[in-house]
Amino acid sequence: MTETAEKTRSTERAIKISRSDLPLSCPRPQDAVWNMHPRVYLPIDKTGEEICPYCGARYILEDWKASHE
Task: Please state the pTM of the whole predicted model.
Answer: 0.71
Query: What average pLDDT does this structure show over 9-15?
Result: 66
6 vs 66: CA distance, rounded Å: 29
How many Å apart are CA 28 and CA 4, to the nearest integer? 9
Encoded amino acid at 35, one letter: N
**Domains along the sequence of the chain with CATH:** 3-67 (2.60.260)
Q: Which tens digits make up the pLDDT trace of 13-58? A: 789 999 999 999 999 988 887 778 999 999 998 899 999 999 999 9
Q: What is the sign of the dihedral through the CA atoms of 35, 38, 39 and 40?
A: negative
